[in-house]
Amino acid sequence: MSTDTTASVSTHILDTSVGRPAAGVAVRLAARDGRDGDWRALGGSATDSDGRCKDLPALPAGTTHVRLDFEVERYFEDSAKKQADTQQDAPANRDSGAPVFFPEVAITFAVVPGEHYHVPLLLNPFGYSVYRGS
């Protein structure tokens, strides 16, 4: 068993609607001590061209719960514009006036000291799923 006093977190995003990493998505990290503790914003980052956040802030000692907030609305707005530019005859989105149903995705999970948590987000304009990766 590890003797580390903190957990660590990483994430990446795959846009399943196009089968590619989602670049440029802002990700914020928050933590709390205990289920009744107050959330503390720790900072954030943005996904790189491979859809990964490699520089999320470290978790403070005593963290028991973590929240990742993904700001996906701008990503899908930008993607819809790019798609419209490349496919001038086809509408960017045929189902709705909005390019995305979930403008933000918040994932909350429990952690224990010494463990690493990789939390991938599989994303499309109308749904998402997450899991604990490795």
Element of type H or E holding 76: helix 73-86
Summarised one tens digit per residue, pLDDT across range 107-122 is: 999 999 999 999 999 9
Q: How many CB atoms lie within 10 A of CB 33?
A: 14
Q: Which whole number is the average pLDDT over 84-94?
A: 50
Average pLDDT, rounded, for the chain:
87
Query: How much is the pLDDT for 1?
Result: 43
Which pTM was predicted?
0.84
Q: Do 28 and 41 contact (CB within 8 A), yes or no?
A: yes
> Which DSSP letter does residue 37 get?
S
Query: How much is the pLDDT for 6?
Result: 86
Tell me the chain's radius of gyration from C-alpha atoms: 17
Q: Do 109 and 117 contact (CB within 8 A), yes or no?
A: yes
Query: How much is the pLDDT for 78?
Result: 83
Summarised one tens digit per residue, pLDDT across range 70-80 is: 999 999 988 77
**Alpha carbons 67 and 75: distance in angstroms, whole number:** 20
Q: Do 100 and 125 contact (CB within 8 A), yes or no?
A: yes
Query: How much is the pLDDT for 54?
Result: 85
Query: How much is the pLDDT for 103?
Result: 94
**Percent of the residues in the chain that have a pLDDT greater than 90, as a whole number:** 75
Going 39 to 11 to 104 to 43, the CA torsion angle's sign is positive
Summarised one tens digit per residue, pLDDT across range 40-87 is: 999 999 999 999 998 999 999 999 999 999 999 999 988 776 665 545
The topology (CATH level 3) of 8-130 is: Immunoglobulin-like (2.60.40)
**Alpha carbons 131 and 134: distance in angstroms, whole number:** 10
- Domain extent listing, the chain: 8-130
Query: How much is the pLDDT for 79?
Result: 79
User: For residue 116, how many C-alpha atoms fall within 13 Å in the half-sphere facing its CB?
Assistant: 7
